[in-house]
Structure 1
């Protein structure tokens, strides 16, 4: 005696996972990706030592602009100027020695503001941003508060 076998028509849809998304095939591709040709496989090259890859130089002017922009991001800082007798632009002064950086900023701060807290926030934020964006180590940040200006709200009174 034979056991009856139930035959079901095969579904044309791809099986779905729990979230209702198309299931992944064992190779990590979905059924839609199976029709695409596989990208060519590139041979793996051995890693080149860092000293043979080349050198990246970042100009002091670039570091100065990054520092000035970072200083302007701090609350209650109104203006950042280049340090020195000839201040033609809104920049800071950066001195680079290898990967060690010294920054000098002239800032104007909103009145009334606790100057020590604002300058400490500027110092931390500028050092972090310059370090993250350039990979340079910031040794220290000199800040001169060159002006205290009333905020926009006080001008309206």
Structure 2
């Protein structure tokens, strides 16, 4: 009888502690980082032109590094360089803060410029 109660006591023992380095790893999918980068680009761009598509991102994750490509459309006239720099900065900050990955590069592709109402249509027309 003593052997049985000794066996039951052994079953109630907590499992031995496993060192932190041996527990496993957290893996974050590329598409999750891409969604975070897309949302950050939307936040950085601000209000979009009425017919503009929302920004989207493609991401390649290797180890703890994310390389990001953001595709967006901007209104025109605007300071394109400053807007792209703001997008790069904000995407980098948000990915680092939310995912904890290093972001060595954020490439911004401006797919299309949307003229402000009254800007583009009148310029391109010729009158006879």
* TM norm structure 2: 0.68
SS at match of 1:57: coil
1:93/1:75 Cα in 2 relative to 1: closer, same or farther (>3 Å)?
Answer: closer
1:134/1:57 Cα in 2 relative to 1: closer, same or farther (>3 Å)?
Answer: same
Higher Rg:
1
1:51 aligned residue (13, 21, 24): 21
1:147 aligned residue (97, 112, 124): 112
Structure with higher helix content: 2
* Contact 1:76 1:109 (8 Å CA) reproduced: no
Query: Deviations along 1:25-53, whole A, 9 cap, x unmatched?
Result: xxxxxxxxxxxxxxxxxxxxxx9643133
Question: Using CA pairs below 8 Å that are at least 6 residues apart, which structure has the higher relative contact order?
Answer: 2
How much does 1:150 deviate? 3.2
* Contact 1:76 1:118 (8 Å CA) reproduced: no
1:135 aligned residue (97, 100, 108): 100
1:102/1:77 Cα in 2 relative to 1: closer, same or farther (>3 Å)?
Answer: farther
How much does 1:77 deviate? 6.3
What root-mean-square deviation, in Å, do the aligned CA atoms of Structure 1 and Structure 2 show? 2.0
* Match in the other structure for 1:69: 39
Structure 1: 4+ residue segments shifted above 2 A: 47-50, 75-81
Question: Which 5+ residue runs of structure 2 have no aligned equivalent?
Answer: 1-16, 119-128
Is residue 68 of structure 2 the alignment partner of residue 103 of structure 1?
yes
